[in-house]
Amino acid sequence: TCRFTSVLSPRHASLTEMGLLSLLRGLRKSEKEARILVLGLDNAGKTTCLKQLSNEEISHVVPTQGFNIKSLVQDGFKLNVWDIGGQKTIRPYWRNYFENTDCLVSNH
């Protein structure tokens, strides 16, 4: 499982507590939307983390074939999260997703 923890407490942290939302707002001051690219090796837990942030069930997560896109809204800010599969056959195509990405999250 994936845990986003705050430095101040051991409980689960929201995007606000992680500081990610503040960082993205600073980068995209005039807009209320950002694109996040999530990359990592297969079975690293990328999809599980995304499902946890979305408050979705994580008891049955299957490997991502290609990519998933999830839109999350937090405090009026929209995050378009691109979860890219980590299989060896997909990795050469990762570079095709970098354009228009505001934040890269590496999960390993």
Check whether 85 is labelled as a binding-site residue: no
Cα of first residue to Cα of last residue in the chain, in angstroms, is: 12
3-state secondary structure of 90: coil
Residue 52: active-site member: no
Question: Which of 52, 65, 74, 87 is the catalytic position?
Answer: 87
Check whether 86 is labelled as a binding-site residue: yes
Check whether 40 is labelled as a binding-site residue: yes
Check whether 46 is labelled as a binding-site residue: yes
Q: Which residue has the tokens 């809204």?
A: 73
Count Cβ atoms below 10 Å from residue 37 Cβ, excluding itself.
21
Check whether 100 is labelled as a binding-site residue: no
Residue partners of 57: CB distance under 8 A and separation at least 6: 51
Check whether 19 is labelled as a binding-site residue: no
Q: How far is CA 89 from CA 37, 66, 77, 81, in A?
A: 18, 10, 34, 21
Check whether 45 is labelled as a binding-site residue: yes
Annotated binding-site members for Mg(2+): 47, 64
Residues belonging to the binding site are: 40-47, 64, 86
Residue list, annotated binding site for GTP: 40-47, 86
Which residues are annotated as catalytic?
A: 87
